Chains A and B, each alone.
Chain A
Amino acid sequence: AQSVTQPDIHITVSEGASLELRCNYSYGATPYLFWYVQSPGQGLQLLLKYFSGDTLVQGIKGFEAEFKRSQSSFNLRKPSVHWSDAAEYFCAVGRPPDTDKLIFGTGTRLQVFP
């Protein structure tokens, strides 16, 4: 069965520093990969997604992610973090065309210090 692992439960960075959030997946083929962000008290918002093609994808709010098949990873990056980026981030995997189901990782909570 496919799964998603986010090894870092909690990350703290200073404002202006770079950020990388890790995501590893287990799946036999190239899945659909997503990153979502959940701000406090809010629902989940889609940051970016990957299906095929260019392995570096750009998303909203200045985020990007890189798909690395050899490492089964889809890490999220941002060159310079803003205080408003403090939130919880979820990586998710889907396995088309069998199902529209998304399987989520356990999340990484990002704290930003001024």
Chain B
Amino acid sequence: EAQVTQNPRYLITVTGKKLTVTCSQNMNHEYMSWYRQDPGLGLRQIYYSMNVEVTDKGDVPEGYKVSRKEKRNFPLILESPSPNQTSLYFCASSSGLFYGYTFGSGTRLTVV
């Protein structure tokens, strides 16, 4: 089944403790992206990647890092999480805008 898999689904962590949210897709898509969803703000893009080793900032990149060493994986790294990064995170992939995005199920992160 074609899908985008995110892990974990839920995560509670403390301020400053580094964490990684994994994202993997099995559709051989070149484009991958991370969004955060906050009430009243919709989805905002954090980072995106056009292909392996090609990443760029989205609209809200502060406090996040990403890497794209393999085509299928696009992990989101929070080096020093803060409470304002408490949010619902979505990974998405695409083979081109014409086809739209395929989204993962989301990761609900709480930073205390």
Contact = CB atoms under 8 A, between A and B. Distances in A.
Given A34-B100, A49-B100, A106-B42, A100 B94 contact: yes
B42 A100 contact: no
B82 interface: no
A74 interface: no
Contacts of B94: 100
A94 B96 CA distance: 11
B19 interface: no
Interface string A17-39: 00000000000000010101000
Contact of B50 (A36, A49, A100): A100
B101 A51 contact: no
Nearest to A44: B103
Contacts of B50: 100
Nearest to B41: A106
A99 B35 CA distance: 16
B98 to A, nearest CB: 7
Contacts of B92: 44
A43 interface: yes
Interface in B46-99: 48, 50, 58, 90, 92, 94, 96-98
Nearest to A107: B42
Interface in A1-59: 6, 9, 32, 34, 36, 41-46, 49, 51
A36 B103 CA distance: 10
Interface of A: 6, 9, 32, 34, 36, 41-46, 49, 51, 90, 94, 96, 99-107
Sorted from nearest, which 3 A-B pairs have the closest CB atoms?
Answer: A43-B103, A106-B42, A104-B43
